[in-house]
Amino acid sequence: MDAITLDNITKTYNKGKVLAVDKATFTVAEGEMFGLIGPDGAGKTSIFRVLTTLLLPDGGSGTVAGFDIVDQYKEIRNCIGYMPGKFSLYQDLSVEENLKFFATIFETTIEENYELIKDIYIQIEPFKTRRAGKLSGGMKQKLALCCALIHKPKVLFLDEPTTGVDAVSRVEFWEMLKRLKHQGITILVSTPYMDEAVLCDRIALIQDGKILSIDSSENTMKKYPGRMYAVHSLNMHKLLKDLRSYPDTLSCFTFGDSMHLTFREDNDGNVTRLNEYLNNIGHTNLEIKEIQAGIEDYFIKISEPAHG
Amino acid sequence: MRTLRFLLQKEFKQILRSRSLLISILMMPIIQLTLMPLAANYEVKNIAVAVVDHDHSSYSRKLIDKIFASKYFSGGSYTTSYSAAGKLIEQNKADIILEIPHGFEDNLIRDDHEQIFLAVNAINGTKAGIGSGYLGAIVADFNNDIRQQWVHASRFSDAPAIDIVPANWYNPFMSYFLFMVPGLIVSLLTGLGVFSASLNIVKEKEIGTIEQINVTPIRKYHFILGKLIPYWVLGMTVFTIGMLVSRFVYGIVPLGSIPMLYGFLSVYLVTLLGAGLLISTYSDTQQQAVSLAFFFMLIFNMISGVFTSIDSMPEWGKVMSYFSPMSHFAAVMRMVVLKGSTFHDIMPHFLAIVLLGIVFNTWAILNYRKTT
């Protein structure tokens, strides 16, 4: 059975003027970690809010844990955990009080499901009498995750859990998610960070409310048509302009400390010719090498065809 | 039921932890009720009179002394010309000019008749009216004294004399406190109730905790009850503090039944919290809620009859005041505390409160459903 199904879910705001989700269709298998990848404003949060029964869809249907998201919302609320993008626990209650409160309203106790949250809770336990509002960003995320898990949900919804969290905490957080997945919890997670996408079993790329592609992260990367090269030189700013005006260039984007470049036509002479051209117009410390295209490259490719 | 208990536990924990809320709940009634009645006093006292005495006779002196012997007039300033006195009015140093003409005493004795001139600063209408009234009464009294001196006693007694002796019912000494303190308790309680209830619910919206609550099995009515019950209890507490202050600071002992007051209050609070809930359904941030609550509180206060008389309002004002829950509670408080009214007497107000309570709460719940 699929843990989550969406069938042509549409959501609009302002009486139909703003289209937030446009006929989204995908399924998440039980025990799968599924990632929604897309930039800010792509419609990720709207999908989350529809699935967690906070919003009614304007069209289409969907199920969570086998229950209909419209008619059986009460059953869904009993068996999901939701961690919104914005920290939304009671800031004036302590860590322990927050956790206890969410345990009791699901008619359970911290002790009953302690096994599930132990790994995470142990890290914030030293601060359990501290008020939630006084925790650091990473700690808040851990507490929010604990609160979302305390009733042993079947499906866990994490809306941008790592936005605004430092790099070390992000890695830690994903480690925790992996362990939860091993316990059989289905996880739907959204993130604007492409590097986190590889950690999911499958990912859906989403932009402007439309799902662009659904596949495993490896397959998504393999789907990239043609070869990709990373170009580096001393004067990166000039390099971008020169590469974009180079007649054989199909696309060129700044990517970290290098330029990701594709040619209109892939052939073996490309690199040599480009090297010559760049040398001639005064670039030094040139470095051109073929690389495996990443998810972000693919994302840019399919979301901005006009640039090609 | 269990869920509600946990929600209440959480709510009380938060209230007891919020120092500013506790201070405003406990200290506001005490401070406001001990200081406000002294400052916000409608009795007109300390009227400054500028005297322009052109006569400087023993009669004019007598009149002036008589005026300043009264507790209503103070700080007389003496000027030599009317224009100088006018300056004092402009500078707000005088409220009334009393001009005694040259030859005041002579004319009075010779012609049995003389006029004096009063000019009143009427920016504050109440003060002007009452002030010139007092002054007029003193002059009339002065007039009588002179007539007694000059006119033969037998002739004087012929003058028709109807002496009016008023009896002030319910407040025999016309104590301002007895009238004002019960009204202030109502005003205080209403403000606190509407503000704190609406702010608290909106705070959950603003911080986002309501999202977290909405994805749990908590039912909406649990959530609303979990919010309203603590503020109902707080309202009762504030009222009790207010009654204690009025008993021990002002010595006001309600003539009517205190349990009945509490009974009325318990329904009034439901109505009030319904209004707070209604405000919260129309606002997304605490700032919006404050603006809305402030707007309504101002109107509630103005037309409540606590500070001005409803009877002297125009018809539309009377209609408006009927729809303000505060005016009913203010009326009931004064009826029960001052007159010892029974439930039969306050029945119309009770029904109005119940009606308004049903309207506010139904509206709020319908709107709450719609928005979430």
In a domain, B1, yes or no: no
Same domain assignment for residues A168 and A265: no
Same domain assignment for residues B197 and B284: yes
Query: With bands split at pLDDT 50, 70 and 90, how would you rate the model's confidence at A306?
Result: very low
- A181 neighbors A189 (Cβ within 8 angstroms): no
In a domain, A164, yes or no: yes
Query: Looking at residue B153, what is its pLDDT?
Result: 53
Indicate which CATH number applies to the domain containing A19. 3.40.50.300
CA distance readout (Å), B237 to B183, B244, B254: 17, 11, 18
Query: With bands split at pLDDT 50, 70 and 90, how would you rate the model's confidence at B370?
Result: low
In a domain, B15, yes or no: no
Same domain assignment for residues B209 and B269: yes
Cβ-nearest to A52 among B17, B215, B218: B215
Same domain assignment for residues A243 and A217: no
The vertex-A45 CA angle with A43 and A47, nearest 5°, equals 70
Query: Is A82 in contact with B215 (Cβ distance < 8 A)?
Result: yes
Q: Of A7 and B70, which is predicted with more confidence?
A: A7
In a domain, B19, yes or no: no
Q: Which of A200-204, B133-137, B337-341 has the lowest mean pLDDT?
A: B133-137
The pLDDT of residue B269 is above 90: yes
Same domain assignment for residues A278 and A159: no
Query: Is B14 in contact with A80 (Cβ distance < 8 A)?
Result: no
Q: Which of A50-59, B8-17, B260-269, B305-314 has the lowest mean pLDDT?
A: B305-314
Indicate which CATH number applies to the domain containing A270. 3.30.70
Q: Which residues of A touch B216 (CB under 8 A)?
A: 77, 102, 105-106
Same domain assignment for residues B215 and B358: yes
Question: Distance, in angstroms, between B287 CA and closest chain A CA?
Answer: 19
Query: Looking at residue B219, what is its pLDDT?
Result: 84
Same domain assignment for residues A143 and A239: no
The pLDDT of residue B239 is above 90: yes
Chain B positions contacting chain A at CB under 8 Å are 2-3, 6-7, 10, 13-14, 17-18, 207-209, 211-212, 214-218
In a domain, B35, yes or no: no
Tally of structural domains, chain B:
2
Domain residues for the domain of A270 are 228-292
Q: What is the mean pLDDT of chain B?
A: 86
Cβ-nearest to B216 among A77, A86, A87: A77
Q: Which of A117-121, B150-154, B340-344 has the lowest mean pLDDT?
A: B150-154
What is the crossing angle of helices B286-302 and B176-207, to 10°?
A: 160
Interface size, chain A vs chain B, as Cβ–Cβ contacts under 8 Å: 55
In a domain, A250, yes or no: yes
> A82: closest CA among A95, A61, A96, A65?
A65
Same domain assignment for residues A191 and A234: no
Question: Distance, in angstroms, between B43 CA and closest chain A CA?
Answer: 46
Give the residue from chain A lying closest to B223, CA to CA: A105
Question: Among the residues of A65-113, which ranges form H helices?
Answer: 73-79, 95-105
Q: What is the mean pLDDT of chain A?
A: 87
In a domain, A297, yes or no: no
Same domain assignment for residues B233 and B279: yes
User: What is the average per-residue pLDDT within B197-209?
Assistant: 88
Same domain assignment for residues B270 and B324: yes
The pLDDT of residue B250 is above 70: yes
Question: Distance, in angstroms, between A191 CA and closest chain B CA?
Answer: 20
Interface test with B, best of A13, A105, A152 (most B CBs within 10 A): A105
Indicate which CATH number applies to the domain containing B89. 3.40.1710.10
The vertex-A276 CA angle with A274 and A282, nearest 5°, equals 105
Q: Which residues are CB-neighbours of B57 under 8 A, at least 6 positions away?
A: B104, B105, B106
Tally of structural domains, chain A:
2
Query: Is A88 in contact with B211 (Cβ distance < 8 A)?
Result: yes
Same domain assignment for residues B149 and B179: no
Query: Looking at residue B157, what is its pLDDT?
Result: 53
Query: Looking at residue B372, what is its pLDDT?
Result: 47
In a domain, A302, yes or no: no
Same domain assignment for residues B367 and B340: yes
Q: Of B70 and B303, which is predicted with more confidence?
A: B303
CA distance readout (Å), A243 to A230, A246, A280, B263, B332: 12, 5, 13, 82, 84
Same domain assignment for residues B198 and B141: no
Q: Tell me, what's the ipTM? A: 0.76
Query: Is B212 in contact with A82 (Cβ distance < 8 A)?
Result: yes
Same domain assignment for residues A197 and A149: yes
The pLDDT of residue A187 is above 90: yes
Query: Is B212 in contact with A107 (Cβ distance < 8 A)?
Result: no
In a domain, B306, yes or no: yes
In a domain, B161, yes or no: no
- Taking only the tens place, the pLDDT of each residue in A125-153 is 999 999 999 988 888 888 999 999 999 99
The pLDDT of residue B152 is above 80: no
- Taking only the tens place, the pLDDT of each residue in B109-135 is 777 778 888 888 888 887 888 888 888
Q: Which residues of A touch B211 (CB under 8 A)?
A: 54, 82, 84, 88
Same domain assignment for residues B88 and B235: no
Query: Looking at residue B261, what is its pLDDT?
Result: 94
The pLDDT of residue B87 is above 60: yes
> A281: closest CA among A232, A231, A242?
A242
Same domain assignment for residues B127 and B193: no
Same domain assignment for residues B186 and B54: no
Same domain assignment for residues A78 and A218: yes
In a domain, B132, yes or no: yes
- B265 neighbors B236 (Cβ within 8 angstroms): yes
Query: Is B10 in contact with A90 (Cβ distance < 8 A)?
Result: yes
Query: Looking at residue A4, what is its pLDDT?
Result: 93
The pLDDT of residue B351 is above 90: yes
Domain residues for the domain of B305 are 173-371
